[in-house]
Amino acid sequence: MRKRFSNSIRTGDSAQPTISLEITLDERLVGYTLFVRYSDDVNDSHWHIIVPAVRAKGLSTALYPHRIQAYFDIAPISRMIHQTRARNLSLNRMLDKFVPAAETSVTDKSDGVALPGEFHIRFVTRADIPRIFAREAELDPISCANRSTASPQPGS
């Protein structure tokens, strides 16, 4: 596990296959994301809020557009793929606000360490970013005007 994260510390190399970003809230580490590159159009990420007190408070929803922008900013990619368990209702509810599921299928091979099962698949392209930010403004125009201090940051 330690090697996985030490290898993902951002080097500045646009071809780096894995990149970790920390999620801070009021200058405190509350989570992380691991961006995994395979090719121009096959890329995925994993996102974890690690402080229980800030889970289920809307942080992932508030940061989703910025998270996606960060991935496209740090790597020359054209598409991200979200693969989420169909039974993960809260994660799917958050993603549905921004990106509809393109398909639902049963797979034996997940994009991470998940066991086989039923997954929703979503695709996000660089061209989707303005629409995702517009959706953020529709969901919470006041918060968009008064940006939080929470943001995904390159790991150190």
Tens of pLDDT along the chain (156 residues) come to 566 677 888 888 888 899 999 999 999 999 999 999 999 999 999 888 999 999 988 898 999 999 999 999 999 999 999 999 999 999 999 999 999 999 998 987 766 656 778 999 999 999 999 999 999 999 876 666 555 445 555 554
For residues 60 and 63, what is the distance between their CA atoms, to the nearest angstrom?
5
pLDDT score at 149: 47
136 lies in a domain?
yes
Q: Residue 28, CB half-sphere, CA atoms under 13 Å: how many? A: 8
Residue 48 within any structural domain of the chain: yes
- Within a domain: 52: yes
Total domains, the chain? 1
Take residue 129 and report the two structure tokens written for it: 């970013």
* Per-residue model confidence (pLDDT) at position 107: 80
Give domain status of residue 71, yes or no: yes
Which pLDDT score is estimated for 156? 45
* Residue 19 resides in a domain: yes
- Asked if residues 45 and 152 have their Cβ atoms less than 8 Å apart, the reply is no
DSSP letters, 15-57, are: T-SEEEEEEEETTEEEEEEEEEE-SSS-EEEEEEE--GGGTTS
**How far, in Å, CA of 98 to CA of 85, rounded?**
17
What's residue 9's pLDDT? 86
Question: Domain holding 71: CATH number?
Answer: 3.40.630
Q: In sequence order, what are the residues at sequence separation of 6 or more whose Cβ sits closer than 8 angstroms to the Cβ of residue 133?
A: 65, 69
Q: How far apart are CA 34 and CA 123, in angstroms?
A: 17
Could you list the residue range(s) of the whole structural domain that residue 66 is in? 2-80+126-154
With respect to residue 93, please indicate whether it lies within any of the assigned structural domains: no
In a domain, residue 99? The reply is no
| 140 within domain boundaries | yes
Tokens in use for 118? 């039923």
